Structure 1
Amino acid sequence: MSAAGQAGWVDHGDKRRACFKISDGQPATRYLVKSFLLPHLICPACLPKEYRLEPAIESEAAGDIISGELICVQCRRRYPLRDGVAHLLPVADGGSAGGQLRYEEGGMVDRYLWSHYADLCGVDGNGAANAAWADCLAGGDGASLDAGCAVGRLTFAMAARSSWAVGCDLSGNFIKAVRTLARDRQLTFSLPLEGNLREIFRITLPTALRSDNAEFIVADALRLPFRRETFQQSASLNLLDRVRYPLAHLFEMNRVASCSGAAFLFASPFSWAASSAPEELWLGGKAAGEFSGSGIDNVRSLLAGQGGILTPPWQVSRAGTIPWQIRSHCRHHELITSEFLLAVR
């Protein structure tokens, strides 16, 4: 820490954030992860053992550029906090695995912003799908997790029904975009209209979507940086067929969910591809071997306790399909249908 400033907790109304104080006594423009999340964070590299992370801070460039770290009390691994974003990846290149690089391509953030928020921009988009996902959420005083949150629409809906909610994704670009939206409550983006012409969209979050108790971090859904039994409500939407070890993802979602009084919203189009995971690790979509047959049937069986992998077992209370779309340009949309299960225990 330079002589220009000192670290400390700064109270912003009823919410506290880990901040920096600079010499004029004002908080720096960059802040660390929201404080309600800190007690629940663990070192993902030390899993299955759970060791807490302690915050450390430093200032750079004579106090103008400020950054921090979260340090594992056991292995001393350091996880950076850059521009207010916690990067809790067990390995530095974790984002490159499982075909993740495609989500860092130019224009991908804008396509997903349209997919999540077009209905808030006066466009029909996925309004029906967003309403259907939200209808699956229960209200309560517990915490919520949106794994593979992309640009965070479901996380905001969860925050409105929880004491607090966190969304995590491997894409740093997704997390930067949604944290800007959470901070400003509005965001402008554009998509191709035709050729080099672009169409501008402006998102304004309605009061029904809370952001004051929502946080977003970069994390791996195969090594979630949270203590076991942290969440009363959790979701994994359209993620299972995009991770490099699908069964490990379900195991992790089960680990961080409460053993009782919990709800888990799962959905996937089951678009299995070798670019994401080797065929032997797929949980469906193959004619022979372990987990052959239908992906949704296999996930349902796993949730019910098959093989003793996910315990305590879950009970499926609702099931169905939800169509949604991603836009490339005004005349080109990709239509996807996800099968979903709402499980409780």
Structure 2
Amino acid sequence: MRHAHFEALQPVCPACLRRGIESPLQLAPGALEDAAGVSSGLLRCAVLDCGIAYPIIDGAPILVPDLAGWLAANGHLLLQRHELPDPVEAVVAAALGPDAAFNVIRTQQASYAYDHYGDLEEDGGTPAAFGPPPGNAVPGNCAPPTPTPPQPGAVRRTLAAALAQLPATTGPVLDIGCAVGRTAFDLAAASPGLVLGLDLNWPLLAIGRGILDRAVLSYPHRRLGMHFERRRHAVSFPGGERVDFWIADALALPFRGQTFDLAMALNVIDCVSAPPRLIAEMARVLRPGGGAAIATPFDWSSQVTPPDAWVDGPAALETLLAEVAAQARQAGVGALVQSGPARDLDWHVRLHDRAAMHYAVHLLTASLD
């Protein structure tokens, strides 16, 4: 946790915030820190009848309302810190099986890291022979199909499209659901202020933190089945010293109102249990005149979002934005209002050497009036 971000953003207790109280967090004595930031320690709520201590692990504070619940569900992932040599990892993965959490996590890391950082690979992350190998016979003497390799950078292209429709900013920027972090680095390159990336998924966030803490990008690259290759690169991004990554809930942003100039939520709204609350939280933490971007493929899952809360397409999203704005005005607080035309963008998700998913992502920008 960088000192600059903690001091400027002044996070508050997310548990107290749900009770309508903006309780400051204080760094407890005994933290492991240096001139740049804190690698391990506790942030303690200053309210006596609360006093929750939020851990900082590997530089990432865990600021969620249900801390015990999050740790119970994710503690084993926090403790899984060491990379294994490829041959050892392959044996472990095979023994555990493809449906084990170990392999599910590797697969997810591979897809996200490819889209965020695949441009750093000499082969773009995918061999030229994408598709069936030469000589793969097809009935009827037809030529074997050769799919077009998915191009990395969909999330970065979506971010660039959003920034083109939003006003320039010099203040703090919030990247909600930042995953492995490339968009946070792009935001730092595009503006002079602090950038904070938030995500609940530690295995994804850890890839971004590796860049901050060690200047090393390291991730598993999936070839086929359970065949992965470890990719490592020494990296340094412009403005990277102004980026930090924290674990936090998009529906309970641990900040006082009017903290940020810009808030991004790219492919997040269909990954939360309450889409209206996400919009309301973005509005709450934005300063007057601040900008926001929401992108989504409307790819809902009942395991995450109750079906009666699904937003069924672009028109419904614009209606939801207007409804949340109307509620905000009735409450006398700032409202997010659509700014600029909405648009659809291609988004490819690489699965492995021979498979990818193709989404049409809807991008909507807004400003706080």
TM-score category of the 2 structures, normalised to the smaller one: 0.7 to 0.9
2:105 maps to 106
Cα 1:114–1:225, aligned 2, differ >3 Å: closer, same or farther? same
Residue 342 of structure 1 and its aligned partner are, at CA, apart by: 1.4
Are positions 1:67 and 2:21 aligned together?
A: no
8 A Cα contact 1:126 1:324, kept in partner: no
Q: Within 1, Cα distance between the matches of 2:318 and 2:335?
A: 19
Letter of the aligned partner of 2:11 in structure 1?
Answer: L
Residue 220 of structure 1 and its aligned partner are, at CA, apart by: 0.6
Ranges in structure 2 where 5+ consecutive residues have no aligned partner: 33-38, 75-99, 125-149
Question: What secondary structure does 1:93 align onto?
Answer: helix
Q: Within 2, Cα distance between the matches of 1:204 and 1:177?
A: 13
Q: 2:317 aligns with which of 253, 278, 296?
A: 296
Q: Within 1, Cα distance between the matches of 2:226 and 2:301?
A: 32
Q: Within 2, Cα distance between the matches of 1:267 and 1:275?
A: 20
Letter of the aligned partner of 1:278 in structure 2?
Answer: P
Question: What secondary structure does 2:340 align onto?
Answer: strand
Are positions 1:250 and 2:279 aligned together?
A: yes
Spell out the pairing of 1:102-141 with structure 2 (5 A cutoff). Answer: 105-107=104-106, 108-122=108-122, 123=124, 125-127=151-153, 129-137=155-163, 138-141=167-170
Are positions 1:281 and 2:250 aligned together?
A: no
Residues matched between the structures, number: 296
Are positions 1:83 and 2:58 aligned together?
A: yes
Q: Within 2, Cα distance between the matches of 1:181 and 1:277?
A: 32
Cα 1:295–1:103, aligned 2, differ >3 Å: closer, same or farther? farther
Q: Which of the pair has more CA radius of gyration?
A: 2
Give a deviation string over 1:174-202, Cα, whole Å, max 9, x none.
22211111233331323232345444544
Spell out the pairing of 1:1-345 with structure 2 (5 A cutoff). Answer: 32-39=1-8, 40-47=10-17, 48-58=20-30, 67-74=40-47, 75-91=50-66, 92-94=68-70, 105-107=104-106, 108-122=108-122, 123=124, 125-127=151-153, 129-137=155-163, 138-160=167-189, 161-195=191-225, 197-203=227-233, 205=235, 207-208=237-238, 210-260=239-289, 262-284=290-312, 294-302=315-323, 305-308=325-328, 311-345=334-368
Identity rate, percent: 28
Residue 70 of structure 1 and its aligned partner are, at CA, apart by: 0.3
Between Structure 1 and Structure 2, the one with more helix by share is 2
Residue 131 of structure 1 and its aligned partner are, at CA, apart by: 3.2
Q: Within 2, Cα distance between the matches of 1:121 and 1:239?
A: 27
Residue 81 of structure 1 and its aligned partner are, at CA, apart by: 0.7
Q: Within 2, Cα distance between the matches of 1:136 and 1:201?
A: 30
| Range with greater deviation from structure 2 (37-46 or 227-236) | 37-46
Q: Within 1, Cα distance between the matches of 2:336 and 2:162?
A: 19
Ranges in structure 1 where 5+ consecutive residues have no aligned partner: 1-31, 61-65, 286-292
8 A Cα contact 1:242 1:276, kept in partner: yes
Cα 1:183–1:119, aligned 2, differ >3 Å: closer, same or farther? same
Q: Within 1, Cα distance between the matches of 2:310 and 2:153?
A: 31
Residue 237 of structure 1 and its aligned partner are, at CA, apart by: 0.7
Between Structure 1 and Structure 2, the one with more strand by share is 1
Residue 242 of structure 1 and its aligned partner are, at CA, apart by: 1.0
Residue 125 of structure 1 and its aligned partner are, at CA, apart by: 2.5
Q: Within 2, Cα distance between the matches of 1:73 and 1:36?
A: 19
Question: What secondary structure does 1:76 align onto?
Answer: coil
8 A Cα contact 2:155 2:266, kept in partner: no
Residue 225 of structure 1 and its aligned partner are, at CA, apart by: 0.7
Q: Within 2, Cα distance between the matches of 1:221 and 1:297?
A: 20
Q: Within 1, Cα distance between the matches of 2:102 and 2:161?
A: 28
Q: Which has the higher contact order (CA 8 A, sep 6+)?
A: 2
Q: Within 2, Cα distance between the matches of 1:43 and 1:156?
A: 26
Cα 1:171–1:129, aligned 2, differ >3 Å: closer, same or farther? closer
Letter of the aligned partner of 2:25 in structure 1?
Answer: L
Calculate the TM-score normalised by the size of structure 2.
0.72
Cα 1:247–1:103, aligned 2, differ >3 Å: closer, same or farther? farther
